[in-house]
A and B are shown apart, each in its own frame.
Chain A
Amino acid sequence: MKTGAEVVIEALLRNNTELVFSYPGGAILPVYNALGRSPIKNVLVRQEQGAAHAASGYARVTGKAGVVIATSGPGATNLVTGIATANMDSIPLVLITGQVSTDMIGTDAFQETDITGITHPITKHNYLVKNSDDLAEVIDEAFHIATTGRKGPVLIDIPKDVAAGKTKGTVKPIHLPSYQPTVKGSMRQLKKAATVMENAKRPLIFAGGGVVAAAAQKELAAFAALIDAAVCTSLMGIGSIDTKNERSLGMTGLHGRTGANLAMSECDLLIAVGCRFDDRVTLNHSGFAAAKKIIHIDIDPAEIGKNIGANIPIVGDVAAVLTDLATVTTAKTNEDWMRQVAAWRGQWPPQAAADNSLMAFQITAALNRLTPKDVIYTTDVGQHQMFAAQNLEIEAGPHFITSGGLGTMGYGLPAAIGAKLGAMKQTVIAITGDGSFQMNFNELGTIRDQNLDLKIVLFNNACLGMVRQLQHHYSGDAYFGVDLPGNPDFGLIAQAYGFAAFRIEKREEVFPVLEEALQTPGTVLIDCRISKEDMVFPIVLNNQPLKNMIYE
Chain B
Amino acid sequence: MQHVLSVLVRNRAGVLTRVSGLFSRRGYNIESLVVGTTEKHGISRMTIVVNGDDNIIEQVIKQLYKLIDVIKVQNITNDPFVDRELVLIRVRVTKESRAEIMDTVLQVFRGRIVDISGDSMMIEATGDTGKIEAIEAYLSSFGIKEMARTGKVALARGAKDRRD
Q: Which B residues are CB-close (under 8 A) to A120? A: 14, 17-18, 21
Instruction: Return the contact of A177 from the options B58, B63, B66, B71 (Cβ within 8 A).
Output: B71
Find out whether the CB atom of B25 lies under 8 angstroms from the CB atom of A121.
Answer: yes
Q: How far is the CA of A178 from the CA of B70 in the complex (A)?
A: 6
Find out whether the CB atom of A301 lies under 8 angstroms from the CB atom of B62.
Answer: yes
Q: Interface size class for chain B?
A: 10 to 19
A172 at interface by CB-CB < 8 Å: no
Q: Which A residues are CB-close (under 8 A) to B25? A: 121
Find out whether the CB atom of B21 lies under 8 angstroms from the CB atom of A121.
Answer: yes
Instruction: Return the contact of A128 from the options B13, B21, B55, B58 (Cβ within 8 A).
Output: B13
- Given A125-B68, A145-B68, A178-B10 in contact, is the A305-B18 Cβ separation under 8 Å? no
A353 at interface by CB-CB < 8 Å: no
Instruction: Return the contact of A300 from the options B14, B66, B70 (Cβ within 8 A).
Output: B66
Q: Which A residues are CB-close (under 8 A) to B129? A: none
- Interface members, chain B 4-41 (any A CB < 8 Å): 10, 13-14, 17-18, 21, 25
A306 at interface by CB-CB < 8 Å: yes
A179 at interface by CB-CB < 8 Å: yes
A1 at interface by CB-CB < 8 Å: no
Q: How far is the CA of A116 from the CA of B59 in the complex (A)?
A: 24
* A-contact bits for B59-102, CB 8 A (1 contact / 0 none): 10011011011111000000000000000000000000000000
A176 at interface by CB-CB < 8 Å: yes
Q: How far is the CA of A126 from the CA of B12 in the complex (A)?
A: 11
Q: How far is the CA of A126 from the CA of B66 in the complex (A)?
A: 13
Q: Which B residues are CB-close (under 8 A) to A354? A: none
A486 at interface by CB-CB < 8 Å: no
Instruction: Return the contact of B17 from the options A117, A124, A125, A301 (Cβ within 8 A).
Output: A117
Q: Chain B residue with minimal CB distance to A300?
A: B66
CB distance from B7 to the nearest CB of A (A): 11
CB distance from A91 to the nearest CB of B (A): 16
Q: Which B residues are CB-close (under 8 A) to A130? A: 13
Q: Chain A residue with minimal CB distance to B21?
A: A120
Q: Which B residues are CB-close (under 8 A) to A176? A: 68
Find out whether the CB atom of B68 lies under 8 angstroms from the CB atom of A178.
Answer: yes
Q: How far is the CA of A176 from the CA of B12 in the complex (A)?
A: 13
Q: Which A residues are CB-close (under 8 A) to B68? A: 124-125, 145, 176, 178-179
Q: Which B residues are CB-close (under 8 A) to A121? A: 21, 25
Instruction: Return the contact of B66 from the options A116, A117, A302, A305 (Cβ within 8 A).
Output: A302
- Interface members, chain B 90-147 (any A CB < 8 Å): none
Find out whether the CB atom of A116 lies under 8 angstroms from the CB atom of B14.
Answer: yes
Q: How far is the CA of A231 from the CA of B14 in the complex (A)?
A: 43
Q: Chain A residue with minimal CB distance to B72?
A: A178
Q: How far is the CA of A121 from the CA of B55 in the complex (A)?
A: 22
- Given A125-B68, A178-B71, A179-B68 in contact, is the A306-B59 Cβ separation under 8 Å? yes
Q: Chain B residue with minimal CB distance to A130?
A: B13
Q: Which A residues are CB-close (under 8 A) to B59? A: 302, 305-306
* B-contact bits for A128-168, CB 8 A (1 contact / 0 none): 10100000000000000100000000000000000000000
CB distance from A124 to the nearest CB of B (A): 8
Q: Which B residues are CB-close (under 8 A) to A302? A: 59, 62-63, 65-66
Q: Chain A residue with minimal CB distance to B9?
A: A178
Q: Which A residues are CB-close (under 8 A) to B10? A: 178
CB distance from B85 to the nearest CB of A (A): 28
Q: How far is the CA of A306 from the CA of B55 in the complex (A)?
A: 8
Q: Which B residues are CB-close (under 8 A) to A128? A: 13-14
Q: How far is the CA of A464 from the CA of B159 in the complex (A)?
A: 63
- Interface members, chain A 257-311 (any B CB < 8 Å): 300-302, 305-306
Q: How far is the CA of A446 from the CA of B18 in the complex (A)?
A: 36
Find out whether the CB atom of A178 lies under 8 angstroms from the CB atom of B69.
Answer: yes
- Interface members, chain A 170-217 (any B CB < 8 Å): 176-179
CB distance from A297 to the nearest CB of B (A): 16
Q: How far is the CA of A116 from the CA of B17 in the complex (A)?
A: 11
Q: How far is the CA of A116 from the CA of B10 in the complex (A)?
A: 17
Q: Chain B residue with minimal CB distance to A149?
A: B66
Q: Which A residues are CB-close (under 8 A) to B18? A: 120
Q: Which A residues are CB-close (under 8 A) to B58? A: 305
* B-contact bits for A316-344, CB 8 A (1 contact / 0 none): 00000000000000000000000000000
CB distance from A531 to the nearest CB of B (A): 42
Q: Chain B residue with minimal CB distance to A301?
A: B62
Q: How far is the CA of A179 from the CA of B69 in the complex (A)?
A: 8
Q: How far is the CA of A145 from the CA of B62 in the complex (A)?
A: 17
- Interface members, chain A 101-126 (any B CB < 8 Å): 116-117, 120-121, 124-126
5 A–B pairs (Cβ distance < 8 Å), ordered by A? A120-B17, A178-B10, A305-B55, A305-B59, A306-B59
A: which residues have CB within 8 A of B? 116-117, 120-121, 124-126, 128, 130, 145, 176-179, 300-302, 305-306
Given contacts A121-B25, A178-B68, 7 further A-B contacts (CB under 8 A): A117-B14, A121-B21, A125-B68, A128-B14, A145-B68, A176-B68, A302-B59
